[in-house]
Structure 1
Amino acid sequence: MINKGYLLGDRYRIIDTLGEGGMANVYLAEDIILQRKVAVKILRLDLQKEPQTLARFQREALATSELSHPNIVMVLDVGTDHGLPYMVMEYVDGPDLKEYIRTNSPLNLGNIIKIMDQILSAMSLAHKHNVIHRDLKPQNILMDKHGNIKIADFGIAVALNQNSVTQTNSAIGSVHYMSPEQTRGGLVTKQSDIYSLGIIIYELITGNVPFNGDSAVSIALKHAQEPIPSIRKQDPNIPQPLENVVLKATAKDPRDRYNSAKEMKDDLDTSLEPGRANEPVFKPTHGNNDDETIILPNFKPSRVVEKTDAENRTQDKTNDYHKNRSSFTQALRKYKWWWLFVGFAAILIIGLMFFVLNNNKNSDIRIPDVTNLSEKKARNKLESVGLKVGKIKHRNSDSIDRGKVIETAPVAGSEIKRGRYIDLYISDGAGMVQVPDVTGDEYGIAVQKLEKLGFEVIRENQFSSSVPPDHVISQSVAADVEVKPEQTTITLVISKGKNPRSKHHMIKLPDLKDYSLKQAQEFAHKHGLTLQVSSAYSSKVKKGMIISMSPAAGTQVPRGSTISVNVSEGAKKERDLTAIKNFTVSYEDNDEDDSDNKRGNHVQIYIADDNHSIDNIYRDLYIKKDMNFSIPFELRDGPGQLKVVRDGQVILNEKVKND
């Protein structure tokens, strides 16, 4: 597994895990040069020294990179990172076709044709380049949010001129969608892909695959020997021409199938036309395949050995000899019907016992609730009732702690067969949340807004002549900054109204919009005011100048009041924040003053990044309780710096890197 944040090939920053497979793992990443999300497939660490796996990985990259089509996942880059091969592909933000069918079945026939047209168009191009996919199935077909199809996973695709395609005793792919000749390890052609496409249409129409079984062997045998179940018997409203497309594509003999994906697409596109309504049922002309044996890799069917005629004659003579010599045999012949009855009863009892035991073994199990358990505990709980853990998927959750289970798929309480796989969704903690602007709000409303998003709120009271009592004067984390609520505490400075003892110490505020941040800090220091600084991008106000202020210019405020200013960061650049530094400043009660007007520890924060100098105060405030901070840094030009001063003493001074 590759850790989140890792910079692959000095260009692709890993964001999350999208899937884990037998050959490779797929990650969501950010291309830091082109500023876009991509999917990165990385060969598993334990397989990088296996020549066959490495060749298959390289073959997928080669096969896909040669196919430029809007319905085929595009390969953007191929490379190695410290000897580990990787492949960068376009990121498709949406479900695979299997999940889409499960969620939306039954599908509209027009929508089915629209989906299949895109798939057939892509496969027509692949076949034109003599590339056979060999593993077409809904799980390898992705769909973006606009309904556009993207075929992926050419990991076992081969070119028609490669020797490996003609190897016998070798079947690769999903058995539910595999052609009869493919299960026998025979010659794989374009018609093998067309068979798989026929099964996909069947599933789009009915919501299910045509054949299921207890093992891969039994499913493969059905594909080779049994006719495709009639779609019209399940739903008489399905037009016969549409069923004929399925029947022709899935004919047992490849000669009865469509000659090309384009021919299949042309036939499908006219299947709903009224002129074809009375079309007869498709009948193959070459009959069923008469092969008696199906050979699949890693399948071990029972071996049946038949005796020769000579062996049978020898056995008959031996039996006659013993019959003539055995009184037991004579008794058996005398009471043969009674013995037949006993034998039949014994077989019936044994069969009944086998059925009961087998039924008990495969009985349904109710999926236990493993919400809020760690992955290990959830795994143990599921395995204790006879279930197995399948895929591990991660996502953010505002209610479930990091590393704990959010939910299972299928969901808890569902009944499922013993031995089936259960997917786990693991929490990555709360996602990034944009801090709302609550200045000017009534305290109760402001708290409700912030706590609903998961923030912890601290109240600090302060006199104000401009802000009504019990309303927010300022907030410790600026509005619109993105932080993690679970790691952030926001202090709200709340108005106590006018200070009756401050009538003769009122200060009229100038228009700070004409001030730089440094000039505003000097004014605040001269008049005993506290400056609360936030920042924002502006294409109109020069970097370092004040954009806005609160209270407004001309307002009279008492000494000790807090003035909030918003400082321009200049025009917004191509890239937003690249790092967020989370830290806590602890409160130290060193002041003997216990009055209501005690201000607490004086905290000053200095930062250095692409937009700030370490010589200027970034944030200036007083705290009366331990406080968490989340400071954003923009670090395109190297590391930054953070310095925190509490009551005149430096308590934190460190470099900040973009990890």
Structure 2
Amino acid sequence: MSAAARRLTRVDTTLQDPLVGQVLDGRYRVDARIAAGGMATVYRALDTRLDRVLALKVMHPALAADASFVERFIREAKSVARLAHPNVVQVFDQGTDGSYVYLAMEYVPGCTLRDVLRERGALQPRAALDILEPVLAALGAAHRAGLVHRDMKPENVLIGDDGRVKVADFGLVRAVDTVTDHTAGAVLGTVSYLAPEQIEHGTADPRVDVYACGVVLYEMLTGGKPHQGDSPAQVLYRHLHEDVPPPSAAVPGLAYELDDLVAAASARAPEHRPPDAVALLARVRQARAALGADQLDAVPPQAVAVAHDASEDRTSVLPRLVAPRPEPPAGEESLHRTRRLPAPPAADVPPRTARHRRSLFSLVAVVLLVLGVGTGVWYINSGQFTKVPPLLTKTEAQARQRLSAAGLEVGRVRHAHSDVVRRGRVISTDPEPGARIRSNGSVVLTVSDGPATVKVPDLKGYAPDKAKARLRQEGLEPGMVTRAFSDDVPQGFVIRTDPGAGTERHAGSAIALVVSKGSPVEVPEVTGDDLEDARQALAEKGLKVKVAAQEVNSEFDAGQVARQSPAAGSRAAGGDTVTLTLSKGPEMVEVPDVVGDGVDEAKKELRDAGFQVEEDRGLLGLFGDTVRDQSVAGGDKAPKGSTITITIR
């Protein structure tokens, strides 16, 4: 196991964690602390009920008192439970024990991508792509399920001792295209990996994960982050106003395809990025295919460990306004201070102190200008407007409370069906969440009535085409069509539906149709009849006739019906076809000569030849055992199956 893995799994003896050694919920024995994040601490634990090792993620008690944080924490369990993917850390259980709120998750022995980057610095392109591809596969499954991770970073990429790569910490997952629901004017995330639209608007769709993956790829290829600063505000500002530089600027010799990949994923305008992780994964595989072995296995010049503050890159609530912050007191470590990559030659780049001073002055000037303009705008009309709070999936009562707290009113409450939002919860608002609205304005709520149900219409007597059209009008789909006899519904029209008329079904459900074959007709016996007589008898019953191409030998004369299908007495529908097979007469077989043979021997020989046998003993042959005569002489021919009479004396 690597040093990073050992650090990940051992107990930190310098910290006396009160949870270590305890049993949560009477089931999970906490054995060691693995890692601590901005929202929770992760422990290695034993499930005493199932006797398996797992990871226990316990929310910080201070946050557990906040209902919104608890909701976000529990959402992780529900979101990940929907993602049955080999590259997503599995969630087993969720619960509370006193002030502790926890998730029981799959334990992945190994290390994080952050540990790897701390130890090795930049990675070879092959290794970077080997890690990125399963990460994108996991995120792609989430995106196709309508979920966004929103906090993608090296700390959330687990690398198992067996080499498997898994994505963890879906605690910030939200439905696609929703707006953050925490403190107004703030964004929850990790500074170094936030997309510009998260910083400006708090919005999150799959492209914010694509942006974060572009930053992570840059970091794997170069050993450092693309945007660094002495304060979180500087990093946020650079995300908004500076493109992610090409990795080859920091590591000369990297292939153009890698620069292009990073540029596409980390484009500042979301519309210029791949739409989701599935699309980015396709581009990654295309880029890998274009690279040669020497380009994939190139060793970066600065493939050395990069210093990294243990407190940096934690998930936190950050202001959306990019403004300069006071320098931290001496000795206090900045949230996002990292060792910079080796600088270009001094001839090309000004000294760091002067460069820092100029950038700081520029930043202050820009911020002062923004604040000046913003103050004027606010003075004119800002105080008259507010934003619609996030209300989606809230109950109507909760939505009313949030609107009242924001100084807004409920204008009207509409109702609509929804297959994904529970009954009684908000589906949408008008204006939508995050929209600017005049203070004291009203918001229209659309509340879910649950899944749409449709009553199956009564289609008896409908022609099939019209019945299918009526089903579609009602929001249902035509299903399988079967046929059955009916005495009261004409042939070719619908008898009933399955399920029956009046049954409630979800919109879009398939409804089977049963179509009438009319009253049943009993097929008459026509074997042995001449063909024309057979045709007439079947036509009188409303049946059609088909004559088989091949004739067969039978007991009937040539030209008579030898067989019929369906058989006599069967039930058929009017217009059904009866197939007739004509006879070409009996098959003529040579009769064996059995005169003088014993009775048993003679009967066997005749039967083997295909004949029926009858005995004629008379008075004189009651006790005889020898054949004295036969009805058809030996050597003559007789119809196969006909009867030969033997006289016994």
Q: Same fold (TM over 0.5)?
A: no
With a CA cutoff of 8 Å and minimum separation of 6, indicate the structure with the bigger relative contact order: 2
Report the TM range for the smaller structure's normalisation: 0.3 to 0.5
TM-score (norm 2): 0.43
Give the structure-1-normalised TM-score: 0.42
